Homo-oligomer: A and B are copies of this chain.
Amino acid sequence: MKTGINRQFRLAVRPVGDIKESNFEYREEPISSPADGEVLVRTIYLSLDPTNRIWMSDMPQYMPPVEIGQVMRGVVTGVVEESKNPNFEPGDLVSGMLGWQDYTIVAENNILSLTSLPNPLPYSLTAFVGPLGATGWTAYFGLLDIGQPKAGETVVVSAAAGAVGSIAGQIAKIKGCRVVGITGSDEKCQWLTQELGFDAAINYKTADLESAIAQSCPDGVDVYFDNVGGSILDAVLTKINLHARIPLCGLISTYNATEPIPGPYNYNQILMKRARIQGFIILDYLPRWSEAIRDIGQWIDQGKIKHVVEIVEGLENAPLAILKLFDGNKKGKLIIKVSEEPS
């Protein structure tokens, strides 16, 4: 039986505006033992994602919010330490929606949310947090299933240097599209065009957005993969083509708002261009995730998809590291390394 300390961050106070370290309460508890049907998972990597900000709020949302006093919810990649469930054995690598803590007991009624990773692992474990994990699936299904890009079309991606956007843009390139990324620094623009093969990139902090989009998208915009909302969405709407598709993946520009914020001023272009906006989250596609892993894995093997992971060491740094998602100072997938990978 595993003994020792389980470090945790619990939600102490819902954020007003930006997340602050004081929104979390640090606590130490003894490691619990699994009851019949349960599994004890040790956290190796904790994924930090913009949607964490939604869960911390009590706005109407796609899952129940995290309650005050609960362990903060997070996507975890870990290893089974003890199992009283026939489907899992000690040593299994798993991923699931667990918590900001060293160890999580997965209850029997929640066991389906725990996924076994392939054994042996065909790629690095961090790849399963990034392009082969939830953010990769999000890019894959949002772009292909909802965006339905056709070769020769123009695809614009916002938060293009992020975990989801960088993969979505590369998949659009694989599908033969012109791909334009919108991101927040010249350095990230360079990374998109020189390393990831985007056709153009726009620094939204310095560009005149409407004219930059017009210039980068001479044939208009057929698919806009939106992670951001707000004024970037408004600018893209001025350039959408007839029957454009807008997979609505995130609204990071709005999550920290403290007042009601308006939808896009150019909303009427949805009517005028007979466009489609469709919200989605990856939970809707879980039954099909093997498709995403198969294709993205192949593209990684072929060198067609590159990915970067920014690793912050130590669970204790999670409350500060999550701010990086909102200040634009990161590329690719942000994860916390909580403990060592099995050797």
- Residues of chain A at the chain B interface (Cβ within 8 Å): 59-62, 229, 238, 248-251, 254, 260-281, 284
Contacts and interface: CB of A to CB of B under 8 A. Distances in A.
Contact of A274 (B262, B263, B284): B284
B269 A60 contact: yes
Given A274-B279, A277-B277, 9 more contacts: A59-B272, A60-B272, A62-B274, A248-B270, A251-B268, A263-B267, A264-B267, A275-B279, A276-B277
Contacts of A272: 59-62, 279
B270 A274 contact: no
Nearest to A275: B279
A1 to B, nearest CB: 41
B274 A276 contact: no
A264 B265 contact: no
A266 B59 CA distance: 11
B262 A265 contact: yes
A315 to B, nearest CB: 29
Nearest to A281: B274
A288 to B, nearest CB: 15
Contacts of A60: 238, 269, 272
A251 B271 contact: yes
Contact of A261 (B229, B251, B265, B284): B265
A92 to B, nearest CB: 31
B260 A270 contact: no
A17 B254 CA distance: 31
A162 B237 CA distance: 29
Nearest to A244: B279
A316 B250 CA distance: 52
A47 to B, nearest CB: 19
A276 B270 CA distance: 11
A276 B273 contact: no
Given A263-B264, A265-B260, A265-B263, A279 B284 contact: no
Contacts of A278: 270, 274-277
B265 A274 contact: no
Contacts of A284: 274
